[in-house]
Amino acid sequence: MTTAIRTSTALTVDNVTLTYPDGTGRLTALDRVSLRVTGGTIAAITGPSGSGKSSLLAVAATLIHPDSGHITLETPTGTTDLATVGRREAAALRRSSIGIVFQQSNLIPALTALEQLEVMSHLGQHLHVSTQQRRETRTRAIELLDAVGLADQKSKRPAHLSGGQRQRVNIARALMNNPALLVIDEPTSALDTERGSAIIDLILTIAHDHNTATLLVTHDRTHLHRMDAVYTMTDGHLAQIASATP
C-alpha cells in the first residue's frame, strides 16, 4: 500500500472546560483539560465510566463545542482552533482531517465492506463524481482493506463479518481521507482478548505508518504499556500517568 505521510501534525488541547445543564445548575464534564498528541503517536485515556473520557473525544472531534479553552489541530496546510469552528467547517474537517472510530462500528447494513469506505470518501462532494475520481476512490479503499487484512472480505456485508472484522472496516473507513487526527472510542470493548489484541496492533501500525495523531479512550488496561502516553480521567480532571521513554 502507498502510504500518504503527513508532517507537522499535532493536536493540542489547552485548558478546555465543558459543562452540561444539570437541573438548575451545570455539570462539569471537562475541567481545564490540557494535553498534546503529535503525529505518529497515541495518547490513551483511561478512567471510570462517566469521568469525561468520551466528552474529551467529542470536543476533539468537533462534535461538541467546549465552554472555554482551545483545541488546536496542526496540519501541513495550516492550524485550526477546533473549539471555535462553525458547524459547516466542523463537518468539512471531519471529512478531510479527522477520523472517528466509534465504540460500535455503525456500518451501513446494505453496503459491502468496500462500499462502506467508498461512501465515506464521497461525503460532501457534488452529486457528479467523475469516473477517474471513482476509480481513485476504489483503489484507495481496496488498499486500506488490504492494510487491515480484509482484502478478501471486501464484498461481504456487515452481517457476514465477525465483530473484529467489522471493527477493522470501521478503522479503515476512518482513514479514507488520510486524517491528521484519529479519535478512537473503546475499540476492544466488544471483542475477545485475541481479537482485541489484533485491533490494538492495527491501531499502533496505522498511527505510526500514517503519522496520525491518535487519541484513544479505553477501559482495557492490558495494552496501556504499548501507548506513547497514558492519561487517567477522574471527574473531568486529566492527569498523565505515563509517557514514552525518549
Check: CB of residue 55 under 8 Å from CB of residue 30. yes
Query: Containing H/E element for 171?
Result: helix 163-174
In a domain, 122, yes or no: no
Question: What does the pLDDT read at residue 191?
Answer: 78
Question: What does the pLDDT read at residue 104?
Answer: 79
In a domain, 86, yes or no: yes
Q: If pLDDT is split at 50, 70 and 90, which confidence band does 239 have?
A: very high
In a domain, 22, yes or no: yes
Mean pLDDT in residue range 37-48: 95
Per-residue pLDDT reduced to its tens digit, 48-79: 988 999 999 999 999 999 999 999 999 888 89
From the centroid of its chain, how far is CA 111? Answer: 22
Q: If pLDDT is split at 50, 70 and 90, which confidence band does 86 have?
A: very high
CATH number at residue 32: 3.40.50.300
In a domain, 145, yes or no: no
In a domain, 154, yes or no: no
- pLDDT for residue 2 is more than 90: no
What mean pLDDT value characterizes the chain?
88
Check: CB of residue 6 under 8 Å from CB of residue 39. yes
In a domain, 134, yes or no: no
How far is it, in rounded angstroms, from Cα 43 to Cα 194? 22
Question: What does the pLDDT read at residue 5?
Answer: 46
Q: If pLDDT is split at 50, 70 and 90, which confidence band does 84 have?
A: very high
1's grid cell: 500500500
Among 4-8, 50-54, 141-145, the minimum mean pLDDT is found in: 4-8
State the DSSP code for 127.
S
Best-predicted range by mean pLDDT (6-15, 27-36, 70-79, 145-154): 27-36
State the DSSP code for 56.
H
Check: CB of residue 186 under 8 Å from CB of residue 14. no
In a domain, 115, yes or no: no
3-state percent helix, strand, coil for the chain, nearest multiple of 5:
35, 30, 35
Question: What does the pLDDT read at residue 1?
Answer: 43
As for how many domains the chain has, the answer is 1
Distances (CA, A) of 68 to 15, 80, 182, 193: 8, 16, 22, 39
Question: What does the pLDDT read at residue 158?
Answer: 95
In a domain, 191, yes or no: yes
Mean pLDDT in residue range 182-200: 85
The order of strands in the sheet holding 237-243 is 98-101, 181-185, 213-217, 42-46, 229-234, 237-243
Q: If pLDDT is split at 50, 70 and 90, which confidence band does 210 have?
A: confident
Range(s) of the domain holding residue 84: 10-109+177-243
From the centroid of its chain, how far is CA 127? Answer: 27
- Which residues neighbour 56 within 8 Å (Cβ) at sequence distance 6 or greater? 13, 16, 30, 33, 45, 215, 217, 233, 238
